[in-house]
Amino acid sequence: MEYSEKEYLIEGTAIDLFVAYRFLRILTTPWEDQEAFKLGIIDKDGKLLRRKNTLKTTEEKQSFTLLHRLVFNLKRILHKIPGVRTKIGTYATALFLLKQHFADKVEEEDMIENAFTAWLLKHGYATEEELGEEVMGLGAVLEKGSYKLNQDIFAGNEGDIKGKKGDVVIAFADTSPSDTVLGQEIFKVVHQKSKSEIYVSLEDLEEK
């Protein structure tokens, strides 16, 4: 079946809207109303109680998909950090992982970022000025070296903490950003303790 340009664009828009709806619905549903909570997978604060590999039934698996885990990362960050208005970079990394997840599912690459930005503005989590601010300090390229995390990084597919405040991460070479999300540049580094790659924003780092 061949599509006209208009039909193709309409279908693409419908898919984008559906993805945005799913994202925002999970984000705005209270923890205790999440199916994952009702099934004992997370607690009332979104903390993980059961790992993905322990889920057996279809109902359990559908309540804790990769999409759920990525959005739950954002929810935990929003709830964890008081005065999050000035902490745009703290959830830019989690949003970057969400964008990667949806990259081959949507027509508009920045659709998730745009939906989240609109939600932040609507609910007073940030102002347009704050979203437009640049992070000062380390520069556009992350220089080769070791850095300390100044806050926990929720970046694990299991929905757990990938790096803890005070942990050391390493840039083995001068590193260009992988993406820019909410005005924050996202960099790939190596977490020294776990020897795994994680993504961080400049706001997550301080010089060792």
Which letter does DSSP use for residue 204 in this model?
A: G
pLDDT score of 74:
79
Task: Kindly state whether residue 196 falls inside one of the protein's structural domains.
Answer: yes
Q: What is the pTM of this model?
A: 0.63
How many domains does one find in the chain? 2
Strand pairing partners for 168? 148
Residues 26 and 108 in one domain: yes
Q: Are 74 and 181 within 8 A, CB to CB? A: no
Report the interhelical angle of 111-122 vs 88-102 (nearest 10°): 140
pLDDT digits (tens, 9 = 90+) for 90-101: 667 777 877 777
Q: Which of 180, 170, 174 is nearest to 149 (CA)?
A: 170
Residues 120 and 54 in one domain: yes
In a 13 Å sphere around the CA of 78, the CA atoms on its Cβ side amount to: 19
Q: Are 170 and 189 within 8 A, CB to CB? A: yes
Provide the 3-class DSSP secondary structure of residue 161.
strand
Residues 121 and 70 in one domain: yes
pLDDT digits (tens, 9 = 90+) for 56-75: 999 999 999 888 888 887 78
- Which string of DSSP letters, residue by residue, matches 100-119? HHHTTT-SSTTHHHHHHHHH
Task: Kindly state whether residue 140 falls inside one of the protein's structural domains.
Answer: no
In a 13 Å sphere around the CA of 18, the CA atoms on its Cβ side amount to: 9
Residues 189 and 94 in one domain: no
Q: Which of 125, 194, 182, 123 is nearest to 153 (CA)?
A: 194
Task: For residues 164 and 153, give the distance between their C-alpha atoms in angstroms, rounded to a whole number.
Answer: 6
pLDDT < 70 positions in the chain? 1-20, 80-91, 103-109, 130-139, 154-161
Type of residue at 29: T
Q: Residue 179 contacts by C-beta under 8 Å, 6 or more apart in sequence?
A: 96, 99, 185, 186
Residues 20 and 72 in one domain: yes
Residues 125 and 178 in one domain: no
| Alpha-helical runs (H) found in 29-103 | 35-38, 58-62, 66-80, 88-102
